[in-house]
Amino acid sequence: MVKYLFKIQEKIVPEMITLAEVRYTILRTINFNQPVGRRTLAGLLDISERNVRNELKFLEEAGLITVTPAGAMIADSGMNFLGELDKYIKELKDINILEERLKRVMGLEEVLIVPVGLEHDSVEKEIGRQAADYLRELLKDGDILAVSGGFTLAQVANSMKTSDSSRNIIVVPGQGGIGEKVEIQANTIAAEIAKKLGADYRMLHIPDNIKKENLPVITSDPAVKQTLDYLKKANILIHGIGGAEDMALRRSMPRETIQHLLDLGAVGEAFGLYFNEKGEVVFATSSVGLGPEDLKEVGRVIVVAGGVNKARAIISVVSPDYHDMLITDELTARELLKLKGGEVKKDR
């Protein structure tokens, strides 16, 4: 019914579809970069300054943003409205249909696709925002949430709104430190998400490249042990995905190890595990935390990954056996469908 009416609408007022998208993108961009001025906005998106100016005026008059001397800021009502707009734009751009198709092809319970706008900025912030919104609604009292590290997850943590009310939730890192920058380590992210949610959290302090024979010593540490116990009891897990080579490089592996990895056919990485195209684990970093078998125990496993270049990695890692949900962007979704053999007909 909705789609039917939208089709009629597109025929009678086709120009408005573009306009709606532009305003949506502007509002979205302000949301992240606030406070931001019109010139910066015009540069960020590919719109003329004048045009941005007009749209800013419109958005201000609609009460969605406030314009301060420091730049445009999103208003409270604008914040709320952005959430509504997400749904609207999805309907407009047929993203719901994309979601259904991808859900079927990947064998997942749920798929969330964020529309890609005209910002030449990365879409990862946007994925992060919507993942964060989704998580916030999902979490209930008593939940134990496990999170991985990575850039995408950092975005999730970063764009999560702050709750005033504290909730009876515990956030735990899904893995120890594995030679990453602090901002994108699972520990840091777990802590930040917990803080935003008003929840509790546990840390998993494990040194890099720990020798296997020393593992028992570490895991017998009471603090570590407690965290690991929570981890086993986690009922929600959200994690990112990396390209195999990228991750190996980022973790400064020796060159021959990387070559070895690639020879084994590794294309995707998650949790220190490297997967080949068939979805088999071909290599595992000696790390502490969740293993592939543990994922099956977790009630709801959400994977967040965006960017067309990550498509192959996503396919290698995501499996109906482990995962329940995928959050990605429109372009990547289309690429996934293409790779999976599903024809990507733009049916509008």
Partner DNA sequence: CCTTGCGGTAACGTTTATGTCCCGGTGTAT
Partner DNA sequence: ATACACCGGGACATAAACGTTACCGCAAGG
Pick one of a copy of itself, DNA, none as the site partner of residue 211 (Cβ within 5 to 8 A by kind).
none
Considering only 29, 71, 108, 305, the residue that binds DNA (CB under 7 A) is 71
DSSP single-letter state for residue 113: E
Prior bond of 35 cis (ω within 30°): yes
DSSP single-letter state for residue 13: -
Interaction of residue 35 with DNA, rule CB under 7 A: yes
Contacts with DNA, 48-67, as mask; x by CB under 7 A? xxxx-xx-x----------x
281 strand-pairing partners: 275
Considering only 16, 19, 70, 217, the residue that binds DNA (CB under 7 A) is 70
Q: How far is the CB of 90 from a copy of itself (least distance, A)?
A: 10
In sign, the C-alpha dihedral spanning 296, 242, 114, 66 is positive
Total chain residues near DNA (CB under 7 A): 19
Pick one of DNA, a copy of itself, none as the site partner of residue 38 (Cβ within 5 to 8 A by kind).
DNA
Q: Which is nearer to a copy of itself, 12 or 182 (CB)?
A: 12
Q: How far is the CB of 63 from DNA (least distance, A)?
A: 16
Q: Which is nearer to a copy of itself, 55 or 294 (CB)?
A: 55
Backbone dihedral angles phi then psi of residue 64, each to the nearest 5 degrees: -90, -25
Q: Which residues contact 37 (CB under 8 A, 6 or more apart)?
A: 71, 72
Backbone dihedral angles phi then psi of residue 165, each to the nearest 5 degrees: -80, 135
Q: Which is nearer to a copy of itself, 126 or 335 (CB)?
A: 126
Pick one of DNA, a copy of itself, none as the site partner of residue 72 (Cβ within 5 to 8 A by kind).
DNA
Q: Where are the alpha helices (DSSP H) in the chain?
A: 2-12, 15-33, 38-44, 49-61, 76-92, 95-106, 124-138, 151-158, 186-197, 215-219, 222-233, 244-250, 255-263, 292-297, 311-317, 330-339
Q: Which residues bind DNA (CB under 7 A)?
A: 35-40, 48-51, 53-54, 56, 67-72
